[in-house]
Amino acid sequence: MTSTGFGKGCHLHLIDGSAFIFRAYHALPPLTRKSDGLPIGAVAGFCNMLWKYISGQNGSNAPTHVAVIFDHSSKTFRNDIYPEYKANRPELPEDLRPQFPLTREATRAFNVACIETEGFEADDIIATLACQARDAGGAVTIVSSDKDLMQLVGQGVNMLDPIKNKAIGPDEVVEKFGVGPDRVVDVQALAGDSVDNVPGAPGIGVKTAALLINEYGDLEALLERAGEIRQPKRRQTLIDFAEQIRISKKLVQLDCQTPLDFSLGSLEVRDPESEALLDFLSRMEFRTLTARVAETLGVEAPAVVSAPASIAPAAPDMPAMGANGYQTLSDLAALEAWIDDIRETGHVAIDTETTGLDEMQAGLVGISLAVRPGDACYIPLAHVEGEGDLFGSGDRLPGQLETAEVLEALKPVLEDPAILKIGQNVKYDWKILARHGISMAPVTDTMLMSYALNAGTHNHGMDELAERYLGHKCIPIKELIGSGKAQIGFAQVAIDKAAPYAAEDAEVTLRLWQHFAPLLSSERVTTAYETLERPMIPVLAGMEMAGVKVNGDTLKRMSNAFAQKMAQLEEEIHQLAGEKFNVGSPKQLGEILFDKMSLSGGKQGKTGAYSTSADVLEDLAAEGHDLPARILDWRQVAKLKSTYTDALQSHVNPDTGRVHTSYSIAGAQTGRLASTDPNLQNIPVRSDEGRRIREAFVATPGHRLVSLDYSQIELRILANVADIPALKQAFRDGIDIHAMTASQMFHVPVEGMDPMVRRQAKAINFGVIYGISGYGLSRNLRIPRAEAQAFINTYFERFPEIRVYMDKTVADAKEHGFVRTLFGRRINTPGINASGPAAGGARRAAINAPIQGAAADIIRRAMIRMHAAIRHLPAKMLLQVHDELVFEVEESAAEDLIAAARQVMEAAAEPAVKLSVPLVVDAGIGENWAEAH
């Protein structure tokens, strides 16, 4: 061995970088850096393996030269031979992508050669290096268990499986492929590879391929003499697919001629430079590894703080809000300086200011950035003349950078996988920027961090969080834009007023991130945040931007019909009442019903007003009164018209012709989403007349709407978490769950069951999920309270596990102040120790939360995985309605979509949770939502 070259006696180790990364990623839970939530699990595993590898090598097998080889780009010469090559590869998990650059950084930090070449796969580089080293008379060990590399094994070249720590020589290759290393490509060419999408010969696997190759010697001989094969089907396959097999061979044959711009000698093993290595490890916040490496290198371990240098300042040193004054950027040089700072720091808090609140229409007015406390800036882009003057010129104010220029400069930063973008409700900013061609990643969200930590305790708006956790009162937006009729748009706000407001928002966001990030792990909600909250941002943004097509003409016609009907009913009502009054006013109606007509039904509520709710009116109608019956009819029509047919039309986006709802991720306490502007989660379905509104939700021509919904998901979760054998068995057997309940309770056979009996059992089943009471059930079923209570008692006798679950859940809530779902979502229960009437409510909420919450978790998991699962189909996910997902798909692919989406939904709990009951998904297809549901 020489220091300048490579030759006899040298031993080169080639480490397959991707294999290390994937192995590390899948072997470890989704770890995140404590200080900022950056996903870091694969990097941690990678470093551990690399260190173990480097420090553990000794004896005769020790390398003299070593390199880690990475893939560089997805397109290689193989795509020219066969465009479909590796086309089936699933998309990288979102939390893995940003870790790739970090593993390269890690390799360099360990002072190991880090090799990648544009347009070439790691396997080809490995092949080239192995050939060169072997030809120079040295030995080679390829550290990988990838079967595609086994063709390289032979004289002077062997492999090492890093997981099993087992050598792979010619014997092991024969064991795997049935042929020696020199014939491996022939077998692979025949057998194909579904992972890499190498076609091979249909119906021929490794076993058959090896048999054939061993019989005929090699692939060419086999193809030439294919006519001699005795089995007719096999013979025909080899004749018909000869060309495809030859292409397959070219795909699997590794290229030993990759151009390399370094010599083998430069790969010589070097000791790590302890300072650089320890700096990297401590920046990653790997405590154990940092200490271990420091010990081995014989140096002092640097302190690993959960907050890296940039966010470390202790409270007394923490600069005050806006300490350095907020900078307003008006030239590109200043912006470049900020960009440099962001790159250096590795993260940035960002906030966009816009002309309105509808992300699909609002224009970008300015962007604010913050890198560390005390340092924030505002970039005004589209402020116009006109504050305090209704007739302002509307001209763009001077002193602002061009939007296009600013976005062009920021785009590489916002899309850089190694730079974390921090936002407060960042889905909003993500959508605004997406409309300008920027796909922001990776992102993290202080609102969602607060939700993961504090759901149930308080809301998660920025002003509230700033006051609670930073003791800072934000500038109210009203001070800038006013309120009510005199309200102006943000673009009309003077720049010198807008800048401190906007920059403050970015700085508050940064500080909230510093506050929340370490709490995620100490409060044990990192997994919930990383798997249930953060990945929802791009998923929902995509659905919201896609929107759903709504037929405005259909709605208009319905509105007209409803208006006619309302007028008719109104006339009838006035006649029955004997006077004209506002039918829509509960107050006036109550006075007519109960004062004027003296019907039974008392006052209610603290306002002293009569209740005229549907319950009350239904009772009166049942007594034979016409007026309440007509009122109920009128209300139904009025509701449909005002809330649906009228309002929905106004929500059709003029640019897209579609309706774009917005989902709040952190709105509901339990993990459910909430849909707003408009709410598409409460479109009528229960009444025939209301359901017709769904006919206005349509697929574009040539497409279909597909709806998939979970069957009885909450009851299935109840059966699982409360561990109720009878219920679990019923779900496993796929029998009618309500009939089964009735049968168990009332000792009647399921066959020929009275529908009323089943209905009662169904009401009880649902009641249990809500924390049932005799009173509630009696109202729901309209039966005497004593009877309802008797049902409940029987139910608990039959299914005693439910009582146990309820008691345990409430006890948990009291002890910890929160409950958790199966998936680790935390829902706080601050009211649980209250006394008085509120206590009952808090109890029921605590009982319900783990059930409703787990169902919400499951559909979130399905949605997060859906994109990759249906990527190959001409389909888009459009809507979520708690247990239902709605897609739009090209007509011909509808069945394929159902198969793929159902698979994802039914397996959504796994692998985190193995439910003891199956999840079942029903599906429907139609030209509109009414048909599909």
Partner DNA sequence: ACGCTCACG
Partner DNA sequence: GACGTACGTGAGCGTA
Here the tokens at position 264 are 């083998």
Rounded to a whole number of angstroms, the minimum distance from the CB of residue 128 to DNA is 57
Considering the complex, state which of residue 119 and residue 667 has its C-beta at the smaller distance from DNA.
667
Here the tokens at position 187 are 């077998």
H-type alpha helices, 192-321: 206-216, 219-224, 232-240, 242-252, 274-283, 287-297
Nearest to 214 by CA among 248, 177, 247, 173: 177
Rounded to a whole number of angstroms, the minimum distance from the CB of residue 894 to DNA is 21
564 Cβ contact partners less than 8 Å away, ≥ 6 residues apart: none
Q: For the residues of 418-466, what is the DSSP string, one character each?
A: TSEEEESSHHHHHHHHHTTT----SEEEHHHHHHHHHTTT----HHHHI
Residue whose pair of structure tokens reads 């707003």 in the numeric block: 676
Considering the complex, state which of residue 840 and residue 918 has its C-beta at the smaller distance from DNA.
840
Q: For the residues of 288-302, what is the DSSP string, one character each?
A: HHHHHHHHHHTSPPP
Question: Do residues 674 and 525 lie in contact, with contact meaning Cβ atoms separated by under 8 Å?
Answer: no
Mapped onto helix, strand or coil, the DSSP state of residue 878 is strand
Considering the complex, state which of residue 59 and residue 608 has its C-beta at the smaller distance from DNA.
608
Considering the complex, state which of residue 229 and residue 637 has its C-beta at the smaller distance from DNA.
637
Cα–chain center distance at 141: 40
- Give the CA distances from residue 262 to residues 103, 258, 562, 914, in Å, rounded to whole numbers and listed in that order: 21, 12, 78, 51
Considering the complex, state which of residue 421 and residue 635 has its C-beta at the smaller distance from DNA.
635
Rounded to a whole number of angstroms, the minimum distance from the CB of residue 884 to DNA is 6
- Give the CA distances from residue 463 to residues 362, 467, 476, 509, in Å, rounded to whole numbers and listed in that order: 22, 6, 8, 10
Give the whole-angstrom CA distance, residue 109 versus residue 107: 5
Considering the complex, state which of residue 664 and residue 809 has its C-beta at the smaller distance from DNA.
664
Q: What is the 3-state secondary structure (H, E, C) of 96-109?
A: CCCHHHHHHHHHHH
Considering the complex, state which of residue 311 and residue 452 has its C-beta at the smaller distance from DNA.
452
Rounded to a whole number of angstroms, the minimum distance from the CB of residue 327 to DNA is 33
- Give the CA distances from residue 930 to residues 72, 585, 681, 710, in Å, rounded to whole numbers and listed in that order: 48, 32, 14, 17
Rounded to a whole number of angstroms, the minimum distance from the CB of residue 781 to DNA is 7
Tell me whether strands 662-664 and 674-676 are parallel, antiparallel or unpaired. Answer: antiparallel
Nearest to 646 by CA among 563, 569, 570, 571: 563
Give the whole-angstrom CA distance, residue 444 versus residue 488: 31
Rounded to a whole number of angstroms, the minimum distance from the CB of residue 41 to DNA is 32
Rounded to a whole number of angstroms, the minimum distance from the CB of residue 732 to DNA is 22
The Cβ of residue 898 has, within 10 Å, a number of other Cβ atoms equal to: 20
Rounded to a whole number of angstroms, the minimum distance from the CB of residue 826 to DNA is 14
Nearest to 520 by CA among 36, 29, 30: 36
Nearest to 416 by CA among 100, 103, 106, 119: 100
Residue whose pair of structure tokens reads 């190498």 in the numeric block: 198
Considering the complex, state which of residue 375 and residue 883 has its C-beta at the smaller distance from DNA.
883
Question: Do residues 869 and 877 lie in contact, with contact meaning Cβ atoms separated by under 8 Å?
Answer: no
Considering the complex, state which of residue 90 and residue 841 has its C-beta at the smaller distance from DNA.
841
Residue whose pair of structure tokens reads 């039904």 in the numeric block: 601
Rounded to a whole number of angstroms, the minimum distance from the CB of residue 784 to DNA is 12
270 Cβ contact partners less than 8 Å away, ≥ 6 residues apart: 111, 112
- Rounded to 10°, the helix 614-622/626-639 angle is 140
Q: What angle do CA 808, 811, 812 make, to 5 degrees?
A: 85
223 Cβ contact partners less than 8 Å away, ≥ 6 residues apart: 238, 242, 245, 246
Considering the complex, state which of residue 342 and residue 847 has its C-beta at the smaller distance from DNA.
847
In sign, the C-alpha dihedral spanning 239, 243, 244, 250 is: positive
Give the whole-angstrom CA distance, residue 471 versus residue 646: 44
Q: What is the Cα Rg of the chain in Å? A: 33
Rounded to a whole number of angstroms, the minimum distance from the CB of residue 523 to DNA is 20
Here the tokens at position 739 are 């009939």
Give the whole-angstrom CA distance, residue 278 versus residue 287: 10
Rounded to the nearest 5°, which phi and psi values hold at 5?
Answer: -135, -160
Judge if the upstream peptide bond of residue 830 is cis by omega within 30 degrees of 0.
no
Considering the complex, state which of residue 174 and residue 674 has its C-beta at the smaller distance from DNA.
674
- Residue 55: which H helix or E strand, with range? helix 41-56
Rounded to a whole number of angstroms, the minimum distance from the CB of residue 503 to DNA is 26
The identity of residue 524, as a single letter, is R
Rounded to a whole number of angstroms, the minimum distance from the CB of residue 786 to DNA is 12
Here the tokens at position 43 are 């990097």
